[in-house]
Structure 1
Amino acid sequence: MRVVLSVVGKFHTFELAREMANRDVLSAIFTGYPRFKLRQEHEVQAQLRTFPWLYAPYMALRGRNLLKGRLLKQWDLANCLSFDAYTAWRMPPCDVYVGLSSAALWSGRQAKQRGARFVCDRGSAHIRVQDRILREEHALWDMPYLGVDPRFIEREEAEYAEADCITVPSGFAVQSFIDQGVAPHKLRRLPYGVNLGSFARNGQAAADRFDVLFTGGMSLQKGIPYLLQAYKLLQHPRKSLSFAGSFDPTFIEAMKHRGLWSDDIVLLGHLPWEALSRRMSQSHALVLPSVQEGFGMVLAQALACGCPVIGSQHTGAPDLIEDGKAGYIVPIRSPQAIADRLQGLADDPALQQRLSQEALATVQHIGGWRNYGDQALAIYRELL
Structure 2
Amino acid sequence: MSTSAVRGEQRYALPDEFGTADAPRKEPQLIESRSNTAMTRSVLVTHPGLQHSHQLALALHERNLLQAFWSGVPVAEDAEALAWWLPEHFRKRVRRVGIPAALRVHPIRFQVLQQASMRVKSGHPGDRLHRLFHGFDAWAAKRIVALRPKVVVAYENAAYHTFAAAKSVGARCILDAAAFHHKTRAEQLAPPYTPYTAEVNRRKDVEIAMADLILTCSPLAADSYAANGVERSRLKPLLLGADPKLVTPITSMRKDGPARFIFAGQLTLGKSIDLILSAFTRLHAEGFKYELNFVGGVGDHELLAAVQNTPGAHYHPSVPQSQLFEFMAGADCLLLPSRSDSFGMVVAEAMSCGTPALVSTQTGAKAVVEAFPESGWVVEPNGDALHDMLRELVSDPARLQRARAPALVASKEFTWERYRARAGSVLQEYLQ
TM-score by length of 2: 0.78
Is the contact made by 1:95 and 1:117 (CA closer than 8 Å) also made in structure 2? yes
Q: Which amino acid aligns with 2:58?
A: R
Structure 1 residue 345, shift from structure 2 partner = 2.3
- Specify which of 376, 398, 419 is matched with residue 350 of structure 1: 398
Which secondary structure does the structure 1 equivalent of 2:266 belong to?
coil
Is the contact made by 2:246 and 2:322 (CA closer than 8 Å) also made in structure 1? yes
- Specify which of 242, 260, 264 is matched with residue 215 of structure 1: 264
Measured in 1, the distance between the counterparts of 2:390 and 2:116 equals 38
Q: Which amino acid aligns with 1:125?
A: F
Q: Which runs of 5+ in 1 are unaligned?
A: 139-143
Is the contact made by 1:244 and 1:267 (CA closer than 8 Å) also made in structure 2? yes
- Specify which of 79, 103, 110 is matched with residue 47 of structure 1: 103
Q: Which runs of 5+ in 2 are unaligned?
A: 1-39, 76-85
Q: Which amino acid aligns with 1:369?
A: W
Q: Decide whether aligned partners of structure 1 residues 42 and 284 sit closer, same or farther in structure 2, where only a CA change above 3 A counts.
A: closer
Is the contact made by 1:252 and 1:261 (CA closer than 8 Å) also made in structure 2? no
Structure 1 residue 352, shift from structure 2 partner = 1.3
Measured in 2, the distance between the counterparts of 1:251 and 1:204 equals 32
Residue 78 of structure 1 corresponds to: 131
Q: Decide whether aligned partners of structure 1 residues 67 and 11 sit closer, same or farther in structure 2, where only a CA change above 3 A counts.
A: farther
Q: Which amino acid aligns with 1:371?
A: R
Matched, 1:294 2:349: no
Measured in 1, the distance between the counterparts of 2:134 and 2:179 equals 20
Matched, 1:87 2:140: yes
Measured in 1, the distance between the counterparts of 2:323 and 2:336 equals 19
Residue 141 of structure 1 corresponds to: none
Structure 1 residue 23, shift from structure 2 partner = 2.9
Is the contact made by 1:200 and 1:305 (CA closer than 8 Å) also made in structure 2? no
TM-score by length of 1: 0.88
Residue 122 of structure 1 corresponds to: 177
Structure 1 residue 104, shift from structure 2 partner = 1.0
Residue 56 of structure 1 corresponds to: 112
Measured in 2, the distance between the counterparts of 1:151 and 1:199 equals 47
Q: Decide whether aligned partners of structure 1 residues 145 and 208 sit closer, same or farther in structure 2, where only a CA change above 3 A counts.
A: farther
Structure 1 residue 74, shift from structure 2 partner = 4.3
Matched, 1:29 2:82: no
What is the aligned residue count?
A: 369
Is the contact made by 2:246 and 2:326 (CA closer than 8 Å) also made in structure 1? no
Residue 247 of structure 1 corresponds to: 298
Which secondary structure does the structure 1 equivalent of 2:108 belong to?
coil
Is the contact made by 1:120 and 1:166 (CA closer than 8 Å) also made in structure 2? yes
- Specify which of 231, 253, 258 is matched with residue 280 of structure 2: 231
Is the contact made by 2:244 and 2:325 (CA closer than 8 Å) also made in structure 1? no
Residue 425 of structure 2 corresponds to: 378
1:1-384 residue pairs with structure 2 within 5 A?
A: 1=40, 2-33=42-73, 36=86, 37=90, 40-44=95-99, 45-62=101-118, 66-67=120-121, 69-70=123-124, 72-91=125-144, 92-135=147-190, 146=194, 149-197=197-245, 202=250, 203-235=252-284, 238-248=289-299, 250-252=301-303, 255=306, 261-322=309-370, 324-332=373-381, 334-364=382-412, 366-384=413-431
Which secondary structure does the structure 2 equivalent of 1:274 belong to?
helix
Measured in 2, the distance between the counterparts of 1:251 and 1:185 equals 43
Is the contact made by 1:201 and 1:278 (CA closer than 8 Å) also made in structure 2? no
Measured in 2, the distance between the counterparts of 1:241 and 1:346 equals 12
Measured in 1, the distance between the counterparts of 2:304 and 2:73 equals 33
1:293-327 alpha-carbon deviations (Å, 9 max, x no partner): 11100001111111110001111132111385111
Structure 1 residue 248, shift from structure 2 partner = 4.7
Measured in 2, the distance between the counterparts of 1:112 and 1:383 equals 17
Measured in 1, the distance between the counterparts of 2:398 and 2:128 equals 52
Measured in 1, the distance between the counterparts of 2:112 and 2:74 equals 7
1:102-158 alpha-carbon deviations (Å, 9 max, x no partner): 1112111222332322101101100121123221xx7xxxxx664971111000110
Measured in 1, the distance between the counterparts of 2:226 and 2:248 equals 36
Q: Percent identity?
A: 27
Which secondary structure does the structure 2 equivalent of 1:219 belong to?
coil
Is the contact made by 1:119 and 1:164 (CA closer than 8 Å) also made in structure 2? yes
